[in-house]
Amino acid sequence: MNSPRRENYVHTLHACNISYVTQAIVNDFAPLLFLWFQNNYRIRLEDLSLLVLANFWLQMCVAFACAKLADRLSYRVTLVAGQLCSAAGLALLTVLPGLMPSPMAGIFCSVALYAVGGGVVEAVTSPVVEACPFKRKAAAMSLVHSFYCWGQMIVVLGSTLFFRLFGLDNWRILALAWAAVPLADAVYFLFVPMRPLIREGEHGLGLRGLLRLPVFWLMAVMMLCAGAAEHCMNQWASWFAESALNVDKAVGDLAGPCLFALMMGSSRTLYAVFSTRLNLVNCLIASCALSVLAYLTAVFAPHPALALAGCALCGWSAGILWAGVFSTASLAIPLGGTAMFALLALPGDFGCGLGPAYVGTVASLCGDKLKAGLLAATVFPALMLGCLLYYKYGWLPHHPSAKPHGSER
């Protein structure tokens, strides 16, 4: 007989929450060390920027692999393996740069290893949550995704405090401490209960079935827009804080990205609390409209402090977009299975990378005017708003078992 702990799906939710903290660690910790790597390992800045690109693309490739292998995956084995890869990558970051022929090669191998773990976490955690027998599925999904925001704040604030107290040269100790998080979560995942997303007797649509559905492509466009709407502003949050408050970069990083993450995490958590009173699609429509307003405030505000307020407002308004599209897709395509979540992560990740690059390119073409790039970025929340209105009011063939537009579980 299973122990009471194994029968309690709240523990499954807790383990998935920690998964997103792990995701924040692998994405946000290494960039805090770039200056130390540059000064002590003599690594060029352009080479360091390749690490961010490699992390991003490897996670996308792993998500695609998870989509192709969805029917053969064991959630438990996959998540344990992903968490162990993340822990190993963070731990090896402390030793491989000194063991390999060049420090850059050691750092790259470490980043590649934890990027594989991050890609698995991103592709598999959401379907695990969706499969749990919770009545408020959208609330659970929003709450889990809020832990990426809280994890980002913990990493930035915790690392900054550690470096202030013990010095940047002791970063290896902190890296091992962060590696303990995914290691502990890997053990946790060995004991929590899990259910398959597709019920017994049913068959998931698979890649070909999903790609034939017009509603899937609509969800994919919305995922791209959600990732871009979030990261176009998040990428430049530090700049807003520095210009608005006239402070140095260290304080700007805390006031910008941390404020953005605080607002985003708060909106996701509050949606989870009040979801029973709210219609998900209506909330997404309102959030997109508010995101457009937030971008316009940041661009046209007459005072720098108001521009910073626009940045913070964007964190709030974009908060439920990513998780909200996942939940909407699950309602529209109930037999999408793990493949659907993994495939939707691809355009989402692509939007996360495309958005900031698009802002920078437009800003450069306009004479290095960042506000011109951010004004152009309003296309992403505006396009997502149009897709949501078409989804709610337009005609679009769904899977026969789909629930009505905007319905909640």
Q: What is the pLDDT of residue 158?
A: 92
Query: CATH classification of 1-197 is 3.90.105.10, yes or no?
Result: no
Residue pLDDT, tens place only, 379-392: 999 999 999 999 98
Q: What is the CA radius of gyration of the chain?
A: 21
Q: What is the pLDDT of residue 285?
A: 95
Do 1-197 and 201-409 show the same overall fold?
A: yes
Q: What is the pLDDT of residue 335?
A: 82
Residue pLDDT, tens place only, 119-172: 888 888 988 998 898 888 888 988 999 999 999 899 988 998 898 899 989 999
Q: State the DSSP code for 319.
A: T
Taking residues 221-230, what's their average pLDDT? 94
**Under 8 Å CB-to-CB from 381, ≥6 apart: which residues?**
225, 229, 288, 289, 291, 292, 295, 317, 318
CATH class of 201-409: mainly alpha
Q: Give me the residue spans of the domains in the chain.
A: 1-197, 201-409
Distances (CA, A) of 320 to 287, 297, 314: 8, 20, 11
Taking the C-alpha atoms of residue 144 and residue 19, their distance in angstroms, rounded to an integer, is: 9
Residue pLDDT, tens place only, 322-372: 989 988 998 898 888 778 888 898 888 888 878 887 887 888 788 867 788
Average pLDDT over the chain, rounded to an integer:
85
Lowest mean per-residue pLDDT among 190-199, 261-270, 323-332: 190-199
Taking residues 277-291, what's their average pLDDT? 93
Q: What is the pLDDT of residue 111?
A: 92
Q: What is the pLDDT of residue 189?
A: 96
Cβ contact 193:12 at 8 Å? yes
b/e map of 177-201 (b: 16 or more CB within 10 Å)?
A: ebbebbbebbebbeebbbeebbeee
